[in-house]
A and B are shown apart, each in its own frame.
Chain A
Amino acid sequence: MLETIYTFFKPHLLPLLYALVIVAVLPLLAGYVVLLERKVMADMQARLGPMRVGPHGLLQPIADAVKLLMKEDIIPESADKWIFWLAPLLSVTAGMVAMAALPFGPVFQIANLNVGLLFILGVGSMGIYGIVLGGWASNSHYSLLGALRSAAQLVSYETAAGMAVVSGVILGGTLNTSALVNVQADQHVWFIFVAPIGFFLYLVASIAETNRAPFDLPEAESELVAGYMTEYSGFRWALYFLAEYTNMIVVASIATTLFLGGWLRPFAGTKAFNFLDYVPMLLMLLVAGYSLYRAPKQPVPIQKMVMVAVAGLCFGLAAILAAPVFIKTGIIGAMMPGVHGAFWFLFKVGIYLYVFLWLRFTFPRYRFDQLMKLGWHFLIPVSIVNVFGVAIASYLHRTEENGGHGWNLWAAILLTTAITFVIAAWLAKKGDRPPAGPVTAEKF
């Protein structure tokens, strides 16, 4: 009996394990992204941010989670109970299922789908159902307005994001996520340098798709209380937040895989830059050393202990990252691509998320008509032109045996990017001009 069960599950053991790791780690990660966001916000506004719970607020996410778990869960009397209950779950599930096709390293990937990139995009965008259904089921005007705004925003910006992804797919020639990274490794170039406009378009569209500031109109506090989650409280509300941060991590991972070389180290193919292998270990040692240095200065004994624990964790990670660099043989040496791949992947995702936060605290929120105008009159035309540009560049670069012209890659890229940029600048300038003639009531 046990034997049958074992043989039945044997091919699925590793993916199951990976899935468990992701489901277990993700909420913790999302909590710490929230802490990071608050700290970055505080830094940009010349404040300290959370400082009370744990040293430098390090235990704040855990305290928040406990508080949200113990809060009363209110369901409005006139709400559609089932859908109200289902909606946040839908949002979280969509984000987590999308993670299944992400390559966190050459080994760490749950499902290596042939259409992986489309899978992540399609399943990830299903999270919007949670938002629309939650907003509708709350039976409140603020919620409904937030939900409809969210739907309109997604429909407008998904086209631009999809077109930006297409420009990367043209360069890679595949939809398979790990094959995309391998192509970038073979060509010795990240696609951000080949399709910079595509990356920029994806950055803007992905902020809009995850409903983040400056495009956070579905939950605009100054207009709609809290948008689609006005009526939510306690853990259901926390699930919406988890979904939002999961989606942020998913879009950051797509951008990392497609444009930033996925799990590859910078200059992965060049021997002269092999010293970069020491960087992850040194970074961890630096954090550990700083934590130890700060530990005696904490006011309360328990905070000293937490600081030492953080230092210990960083030392452990440094040891794991250092082992395959120094011992190149046997099972430890074989861990090298997996461990360092995961480090570089998460590092790039972290940088992308930092840009998200940076933009959030830099720009004021768009008005809804400005948002629509930016999407339809600027991003979508530019993204279509960009697809043409990238396609022409890769046609010019192709060797003559394959029906191309055998141009130098950089010459072709420079030419088409310049043309796309000129068209984009013209569109932006055209959009700035106020409509001709006096604006009357009939015009609106």
Chain B
Amino acid sequence: MNLDSISFYFFAALAVISAILVVTRRNAVHSAIFLVTALLATAGIFLQLHAEFLFIVQVILYVGGIMVLFIFVIMLVNLDVAARQMQFNRMWLVALSLTVALGAQVYMVFHYAHSGVMEALFRLPAAPAAALEPNAEAVGISLFTEYMLPFEVASVLLLVAMIGAVVMAKRKV
């Protein structure tokens, strides 16, 4: 057991446990805190896989974005009322069957990957960590050469959303 696998299992367990707590907590602020923990643990897994850029983007965008969620919760949700409402709806049978189906799929992937029937399909060869190039640069270069058009389209989309929000929020003068 080396440090890599220890940190992987630590972050994975943290992510799963806090993801469960996000849906089971009654208090919306507590849920938001556990969402932060779940996202941070996911960021930790990215870092353990040597995807530094993905790690820091996860921290800045997702974990930082929850800040706004907090403000919404504090300003919009009436926590006293929310605590008395029913927490889960009655569709649990549907949810259970979907969960079982998904679980079976995941199990099958692992089973076949290890038994060797379709090993080539499920098991991608892992690149050695030392051979990876610095990936912040790699992401930047591919964004501005290979994926230039999609990148610009996405930027324009964000700009449109921003202008739309400003127009909707602005009062008539």
Residue positions of A touching B, CB distance < 8 A: 8, 12, 80, 83, 113-115, 118-119, 121-123, 125-126, 128-129, 132-133, 136, 144, 148, 151, 154-155, 175, 443
Contact = CB atoms under 8 A, between A and B. Distances in A.
Contacts of A118: 56, 60, 136
A129 B67 contact: yes
Interface stretch (B68-76, B100-108, B146-154): B68-76
Interface string B52-72: 110110011001100110110
Interface residues of B, number: 24
Contacts of A83: 29-30, 33
Contact of A121 (B55, B60, B135): B60
B70 A132 contact: yes
Contacts of A133: 29, 33, 70
B136 A125 contact: no
21 contacts: A12-B3, A83-B33, A114-B135, A115-B52, A115-B55, A118-B56, A119-B56, A122-B56, A122-B59, A122-B63, A128-B67, A129-B36, A132-B71, A133-B29, A133-B33, A133-B70, A136-B29, A148-B74, A151-B70, A151-B71, A155-B67
B116 interface: no
B56 A115 contact: yes
Contacts, number: 60
Contacts of A443: 173
B5 to A, nearest CB: 13
Contact of B53 (A115, A121, A123, A151): A115
A356 to B, nearest CB: 24
A114 B36 contact: no
A132 B36 CA distance: 14
B94 to A, nearest CB: 34
A175 B57 CA distance: 13
Q: DSSP class of B's interface residues: helix, strand, loop or mixed?
A: helix
B164 interface: no
Interface of A is mostly: helix
Nearest to B47: A113
Nearest to A128: B67
Contacts of B64: 122, 125-126
Contact of A115 (B30, B36, B136): B136
Given A133-B33, A151-B67, A122 B60 contact: yes
Nearest to A82: B30
Contacts of A123: 59
Contacts of A119: 56, 59
A136 B71 CA distance: 10
Contact of A114 (B29, B70, B136): B136
B67 A144 contact: no
Given A122-B63, A128-B67, A151-B71, 8 more contacts: A113-B52, A118-B136, A133-B33, A136-B70, A136-B74, A144-B74, A148-B74, A148-B75
